[in-house]
Structures are given as structure tokens and as C-alpha cells.
Amino acid sequence: MDYTRQEMMAIATGREFSDGELAIFGVGLSMLAGFWAQKNHAPNLVAFTEGGVFGSTPVGGLPWGIEDNRISANATSFTNAVDALGCLVASGRVDNAVIGAAQIDKFGNVNTTGIWPAETPWSAGRYVLPKVRLNGSGGANEIAVGAKKYVIMVTHEKKRFADKVDYISSPGYLNGGNDRQKYNFVGGGPSAIITTLGILRPDPITKEFYLDAYFPFSSIEEIKENTGWDLKVSPDVKVVPEPTEEELANLREIDVTGSLRKK
């Protein structure tokens, strides 16, 4: 079957969502994966955006932002950031979510703030300026802290998969184990890292992410090569089932502009 790595990643992410969950979607890939799940197998997945846009579906193309007219045209409720990110996300009410990452480490900590190729703040012991400034955390910090679980969606490249991220914008399992408890986070932490090559899941005890499954077009070797730490591989490592025709058809109905089809 003809599908792209991006499409496989979106479908693998969407499969993480179950019917009846309360979910928060971001823009772009995250929203496509979520709305695909709703269309494909989770008709009662209830989603909203961090702006407090409720009950809507995209109209006229993939929204440019989560407050864009394309996601506001058929909303049933507009509230605000304190409501969506505070009362629903940071509070611990949201069942599932997706966030992105510029850089990720073996404990699922996410950096979306900047790139420090030489000295990082933690290696320098002071806040040095980033070489490349990125977007910051947005609402992902609230998701990381509060969501019952969430998926991290990221392009699988060695430079993105670091032993230790330059900057923790959204905390995963921090230094592993029960390190999240130090901060009394209500959320459960990341349940999966879904990449363009496969699916990583956290060890139940150490919380270090290991390779749980790879995509039909990738391999354990390719994944290990593109990971910046010595990635452990599950003895039961699986191949992710490739998209069914129906799954792919549903995705392409959602992805009207074909943004995922660019190879």
C-alpha cells in the first residue's frame, strides 16, 4: 500500500485514542491524528483546544492555529485559556493528548524552547542564550503535567533523540522512576513516543523509553541509529500493522490538503 511515514505516524498516534475519552489536540499533525481517530474508531472522543474551542471540527482545510476560523466556524462553546488549560488540562481531567517535540530524551522529557549545541543551561550552570530559539512550551507544559496520559509525536532523527534534552519545556519522567512525584504532578506522564519510524514506550519501573514496535518500512537498526541514546529494545518488539485501506481513506478525508502525503 502507498502511504507516507507521516501518515503512518498520524495513524499510529490516532490508534492511541479510545472512544469516549476527553482529549486535547494541538495544531497540525496532532489535530489530524485526533480527528482521524474520531472519524475512524472513536466517534465519542470529545476534543477541545487550549483556547477553549469546544464541539467543533475543521472547516475549509487544516487550521493555521487552534483558534483559527477554520476550527471556530462550528463550535458549540468558546471559553478561554484558564478554562481549557487550567480547569480541564492542568487539573487532571483530560484523558489523552498529543504534544510535539524538537528534542526528546530517554525519559520522555520534551524540549521545544531552544537549541544549545555547545553549552546548555544545565551544563553551564547558568541560563545561557540558545543558539536557536524555538517556540517555548505553549500549552504542552500543562498537558505534560496534567493529562492522564499523552503521546509525544516526533520525527525520528538522531539530533532530536538526545540522552538529555538541552532544556525541559514539558516534563516527562524527569530523571526516571518516580521522579514526577517530587512535583506532585497529577498527570500520568507520556504513554508513548510515536515517531516516523516506530513506537517507544516507557518501562513501567525505570520509565526509560524502549522500542516497543517499528513500522513496516523501518527496522530496529534504523531506529537505533537514529536515536541519540542506547535504545533498549523490547524482547517482544512488534511490527506495527500498516494502515488498512479504510484507515488510510479516513485519514485522507481529514487531511484534505494532503499535508501528510508529502514524502
Query: In the range 213-242, which residues lie near other proteins by CB under 8 A?
Result: none
Count of residues binding other proteins (CB under 8 A)? Answer: 82
The single residue among 76, 221, 235, 262 that binds other proteins, judged by CB under 8 A, is: 76
x-marked contacts with other proteins along 175-214 as a string, rule CB under 8 A: -----x-xxxxx----------------------------
Work out how close the CB of 23 gets to other proteins at its nearest, in angstroms, rounded to a whole number. 10
* Residue position matching grid coordinates 519522567: 173
Interaction residues for other proteins, span 127-186 (CB under 8 A): 127-142, 144-146, 167-171, 174, 180, 182-186
Work out how close the CB of 229 gets to other proteins at its nearest, in angstroms, rounded to a whole number. 19
Do 114 and 136 form a contact (C-beta atoms < 8 A)?
Answer: no
Candidates 7, 16, 21, 50; catalytic one: 50
Closer to other proteins at the Cβ: 7 or 212? 7
Binding window for other proteins (CB under 8 A); candidates: 125-133, 153-161, 189-197, 247-255? 125-133
| Residue type for position 104 | I
Work out how close the CB of 67 gets to other proteins at its nearest, in angstroms, rounded to a whole number. 4
Work out how close the CB of 75 gets to other proteins at its nearest, in angstroms, rounded to a whole number. 5
Does 7 participate in catalysis according to the annotation? no
Rg of the chain, C-alpha, whole Å: 18
Strand partners, 200: 193, 211
DSSP code at position 229: S
Chain centroid to CA 177: 21
What is the rounded distance in angstroms from the CA atom of residue 113 to the CA atom of residue 133?
6
Closer to other proteins at the Cβ: 58 or 220? 58
Cβ-defined contacts of 34-39 (< 8 Å, 24+): 34/98, 35/254, 36/10, 36/11, 36/247, 36/250, 36/251, 36/254, 36/255, 39/250, 39/253, 39/254
Provide the annotated active-site residues: 50
